[in-house]
């Protein structure tokens, strides 16, 4: 099916006869493959008698060569998959198999993409960016302090460079436009964080997605914000360049050097919010973050610090 899709990717009409000849199959076999494409990948295909078949929108596939052309200075190899369960899961498998870090895993589609707190990450084919960068961390916990927040800064800058000027941050792992989610971050560790470990930096960005009935929260995409499709290879390259720069600063100076910049771009700064931890809820006013990336929350006039992977911050109705 993917061979057929690559013949159609230019967005032009192709006759069933020509497609069958290119694939070495009958026109009826082409018809069946087209039906599978629409059903399994949710890609609308126009069918016009006398003209043939045409994708509703042209597709540009992810390519390690195209990414390297856009950002030749990136120091990590890129592994591109058509369909995979999860880029983070594949990255962890490669670490377990002894693959040397750093390396990047990206995919056209995830069948079991996941976000924080076990949530499903909706991952339609060839529309978004599903990105997992693996780093080897030596020298202890300091290099992990505030890391997800640092990654958020890189994602935000790449989105702004792509025309999404309203992109901003939400503690701890989201990038929003107003109150709509456009990107999320999921960090996973393997090894001893006090000595030598690997961290998988998982990033999902809604790029050219225009419809997603399965998403259970307010969302947006680069296309919806800018009104046009974006070259995902260029966005992956831009993200890599920003990540490289922020990670180098973080490694040398720690999160404290980026704390001010992060707070300046935190969309919920000074707003009334609720911190959810399991069945518990803590109400307060968002003051910012400390030099290690923990949330600073004013609770009944007293500043308190919160950190942890299972915490969720939500705006209060009166904010």
Annotated binding-site ranges for biotin = 86-88, 110, 114-116, 181
- The catalytic residue among 181, 232, 234, 244 is 181
User: How many angstroms separate the CA atoms of 294 and 287, rounded?
Assistant: 11
Among the listed residues 236, 241, 238, the one whose alpha carbon sits nearest the alpha carbon of residue 87 = 236
User: Could you check whether the bond before residue 34 is cis, i.e. omega within 30 degrees of 0?
Assistant: no
Task: Mark whether 314 is an active-site residue.
Answer: yes
- H or E element at residue 129: strand 129-138
User: How many angstroms separate the CA atoms of 130 and 53, rounded?
Assistant: 28
Per the structure block, which two tokens stand in for 3? 């061979």
Per the structure block, which two tokens stand in for 78? 């890129």
- The catalytic residue among 47, 51, 119, 314 is 314
Binding residues are 86-88, 110, 114-116, 181
- The catalytic residue among 116, 170, 234, 244 is 116
User: How many angstroms separate the CA atoms of 6 and 198, rounded?
Assistant: 35
37 and 4 in contact (C-beta within 8 Å)? yes
Task: Mark whether 181 is an active-site residue.
Answer: yes
User: How many angstroms separate the CA atoms of 156 and 148, rounded?
Assistant: 12
State the Cα torsion 183-125-189-102 to the nearest 10°.
-100
Which DSSP category does 109 fall into?
A: E
Catalytic residues: 116, 181, 314
């Amino acid at each position: 099916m993917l061979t057929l899709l690559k013949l159609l990717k230019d967005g032009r009409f192709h006759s069933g006869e020509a497609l069958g000849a290119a694939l070495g199959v009958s026109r009826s076999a082409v018809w069946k493959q087209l039906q599978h494409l629409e059903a399994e990948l949710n890609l609308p295909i126009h069918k016009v008698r006398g003209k043939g078949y045409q994708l509703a929108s042209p597709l540009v596939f992810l390519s390690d060569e195209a990414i390297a052309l856009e950002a030749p200075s990136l120091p990590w190899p890129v592994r591109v998959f058509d369909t995979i369960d999860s880029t983070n899961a594949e990255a962890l498998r490669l670490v377990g198999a002894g693959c040397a870090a750093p390396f990047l895993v990206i995919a056209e589609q995830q069948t079991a993409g996941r976000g924080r707190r076990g949530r499903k990450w909706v991952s339609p084919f060839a529309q978004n960016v599903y990105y997992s960068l693996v780093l080897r961390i030596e020298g202890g916990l300091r290099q992990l302090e505030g890391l997800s927040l640092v990654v958020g800064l890189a994602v935000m800058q790449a989105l702004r460079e792509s025309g999404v000027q309203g992109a901003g941050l939400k503690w701890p792992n989201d990038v929003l436009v107003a109150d709509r989610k456009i990107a999320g971050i999921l960090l996973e560790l393997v090894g001893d964080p006090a000595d030598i470990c690997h961290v998988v930096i998982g990033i999902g960005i809604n790029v050219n997605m225009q419809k997603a009935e399965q998403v259970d929260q307010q969302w947006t995409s680069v296309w919806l914000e800018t009104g046009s499709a974006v070259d995902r290879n260029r966005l992956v390259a831009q993200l890599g360049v920003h990540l490289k720069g922020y990670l180098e600063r973080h490694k040398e100076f720690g999160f404290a050097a980026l704390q001010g910049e992060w707070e300046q771009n935190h969309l919920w700064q000074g707003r009334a919010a609720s911190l959810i931890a399991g069945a518990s809820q803590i109400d307060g006013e968002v003051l910012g973050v400390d030099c290690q990336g923990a949330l600073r929350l004013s609770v009944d006039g007293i500043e308190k610090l919160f950190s942890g992977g299972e915490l969720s911050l939500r705006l209060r109705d009166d904010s």
